Amino acid sequence: AHNHEDFVQCLSHYSNSSSISQLIYTQANSSYSSVLNFSIQNPRFSSPSTPKPLVIITPLQLSHVQAAINCSRQHGMQVRVRSGGHDYEGLSYVSDVPFIVIDLIEMRSINVDLETSTAWVEAGATIGEVYYRIAEKSRTLCFPAGVCPTVGVGGHFSGGGYGTLLRKYGLAADNVIDAHIVDVQGRFLDRESMGEDLFWAIRGGGGASFGVVLAWKIQLLPVPSTVTVFTLDKNLEQNATKLIHRWQYVADKLDEDLFIRIILQTVNSSSEGGSSEITIQASFNSLFLGGVDRLIPLMENSFPELGLTREDCLEMSWIESILYFAGFPSEEESMGVLLNRTVSGVLLSYKAKSDYVRKPIPEAAFEGIWEKMYEEEVGRAILIFSPYGARMAEISESETPFPHRAGNIYKIQHLIYWEKEQSSVESQRHISWMRELYAYFTPYVSKNPRAAYMNYRDLDIGVNSNNITSYTQSSIWGIKYFKNNFNRLVHVKTRVDPTNFFRNEQSIPPLSSRV
């Protein structure tokens, strides 16, 4: 039933475009591995034992996507759709059953329209490319999305998508105003023809359960020509624990123009005897939508304990702040790096999890977190605390499938990185460590459900077993990502894909499979 040769045959018949054969990579093709590996972000899923797609197709246009969907359906092939390849669990290019990958890398045009302050962005574009194309035309327009420029808009916008502008403007998904999608029948739909419930579902519910997103229309938003950034590093001797504790009482209540996140990690600090010691470092990493003259009094009023001075601050344009947060030189001349689709340097394997904090974590509890972080000597553990409040608290829980709104002080991202050369036993050890850390956090984070962010995909919180999707089984992870919105997602799925063609380990089940 899974005859990929028939599938390839079908593709060439379906599309009367002669070019399609050049867009198909089977395992016999010499470019197959480079095409597959190009956007893999997590080397954990590029080992020889990782299941590989039978065919990769890189469509150039709508008809190629339609052919891929129609032929997959006819020949019983499972489909995985990949845009930027940043899925934390590799779901866009790994499956346990025979499958093909539709890789949208060639469909990435971006059209910015200054007249309406909108842009059409094809799904294969990265957010770095979006930022670049906006800045090319205007220095006072922006778009609220993620920090890492290589993230793809296909997965990112459909799962939420946030960055330093989330307190001011919410998520990327909150600012999507139209979309183009190909459904299970191979039909092309826009917002009007897909209907409001499907349009709702793909803005936070993940695209992969519903079809292939081809493009998004996004609302660009105003940003002052001068913004201010700062990063203040504090280790334990510099009162980091007290400052983090205090931050929890102010971070979500600060002026909407002010975003201060905390990045926590272990670092080497050399002590007096010259020997190096491990300590915890908290980096208070901030974007302010205005000049330093307005920022300093704001900080003196709301978070004087941090002791921010003018000398700690840098004024720049918004696009330079994008470069700053991405770790590049923050000068407009280096803007071109935002067009790079690959990350420079060695890719590390990683495992991540997410949590939401609704009540400040007691100071004493942080001591236990530090102990846990000291235990992990080989890998690199990072915790990122991202503040909510402001715009995030104004949008209702049901406005989009993303339900983590009012009542959340901040989100935690737990991360552990390690070198890919390490054995699978070593990898398992890092993953176990991550699970223990997550267990340690249990008393301090959201409960019933223990909420999680879908774009930080974590298969530990539940999966659809054996590819048989059941409502009961799926609701275990579904409620954590979507709370009550899970039920509406199931209803949309039942209407648009009743046979569950678009499925993966964490796809929304249709009601017919309710058991």
Beta carbon of residue 393, minimum distance to ligand FDA (angstroms, whole number) = 18
User: Which residue stretch of 9-17, 141-149, 466-474, 481-489 sits at the interface with ligand FDA (rule: CB under 6 A)?
Assistant: 141-149
**Can residue 80 be called a binding residue for ligand FDA (CB under 6 A)?**
yes
Query: How far is 49 from 390, CA to CA, in rounded Å?
Result: 46
> Count of residues for the chain?
515
Catalytic center residues: 456
Query: Among residues 252 and 312, whose Cβ is nearest to ligand FDA?
Result: 252
Of 245, 236, 327, 223, nearest to 278 by C-alpha is 236
Give dist(CA 71, CA 54) in Å, integer: 14
CA–CA distance from 35 to each of 41, 68, 86, 335, 339 (Å)?
Answer: 13, 17, 15, 26, 18
Contact in structure between 326 and 145 (CB atoms under 8 Å): no
Helix (H) or strand (E) holding 1: none
Q: Are 65 and 212 in contact (CB under 8 A)?
A: yes
Kindly indicate which of the ranges 54-62, 63-71, 152-160, 442-450 contains the residues binding ligand FDA, using the contact rule CB under 6 A.
152-160
- Judge whether 107 and 60 are in contact, CB under 8 Å: yes
Written as six digits, the tokens of 367 are 């001591």
Does residue 212 touch ligand FDA according to CB under 6 A? Answer: yes
Q: Quick check: 382 binds ligand FDA (CB under 6 A)?
A: no
CB of 154 to ligand FDA, least distance (A): 3
Q: Which stretch binds ligand FDA (CB under 6 A): 68-76, 82-90, 313-321, 399-407?
A: 82-90
Of 53, 59, 161, 205, the one binding ligand FDA (CB under 6 A) is 161
Residue 336, number of CB atoms within 10 A of its CB: 10
Q: Is 299 in the site for ligand FDA (CB under 6 A)?
A: no
In this structure, the number of other CB atoms found within 10 A of the CB of residue 478 comes to 27
Region from 21-29, 153-161, 239-247, 281-289 binding ligand FDA, contact rule CB under 6 A: 153-161
Tell me the per-residue interface mask from 16 to 55 with ligand FDA, x by CB under 6 A, - otherwise.
Answer: -------------------------x--------------
Q: Other C-beta atoms within 10 Å of 191: how many?
A: 16
Asked if residue 83 binds ligand FDA (CB under 6 A), the reply is yes
- Which stretch in 59-67, 76-84, 241-249, 439-447 sits in contact with ligand FDA by CB under 6 A? 76-84
401-411 CB burial, b ≥16 within 10 A, e <16: bbbbbeebbbb
User: Binding ligand FDA by CB under 6 A: which of 82, 180, 351, 353?
Assistant: 82
Q: Which amino acid is it at 252?
A: D
Binding mask 463-492 for ligand FDA (x = CB under 6 A): ------------------------------
User: Among 159, 387, 389, 401, which residue sits at the site for ligand FDA (rule: CB under 6 A)?
Assistant: 159
How many other β-carbons are positioned within 10 Å of the β-carbon of residue 162? 26
Specify the residue, 142 or 308, whose C-beta has the smaller distance to ligand FDA: 142
Instruction: Kindly state the tokens that stand for 269.
Output: 């600090």
- Measured at the CA of 361, the angle between CA 356 and CA 367, to 5 degrees, comes to 120
Nearer to ligand FDA, 93 or 444 (CB): 93
Question: Per rule CB under 6 A, is residue 154 in the interface with ligand FDA?
Answer: yes
CB of 323 to ligand FDA, least distance (A): 14
The least distance separating ligand FDA from the CB of residue 115, rounded to whole angstroms, comes to: 27
Q: Does 123 bind ligand FDA (CB under 6 A)?
A: yes
Exactly one of 143, 162, 169, 200 binds ligand FDA (CB under 6 A); which one?
162
C-alpha to C-alpha distance for 244 and 240, rounded to whole angstroms: 6
DSSP-based three-state secondary structure for 349: strand
State the greatest distance between any 2 C-alpha atoms of the chain, in Å, as a whole number. 74
**Residue number with CB closer to ligand FDA (135 or 240):** 135
Contact residues: ligand FDA, CB under 6 A: 41, 80-88, 91-92, 104, 123, 146-148, 151-152, 154-156, 158-163, 206-208, 212-213, 455
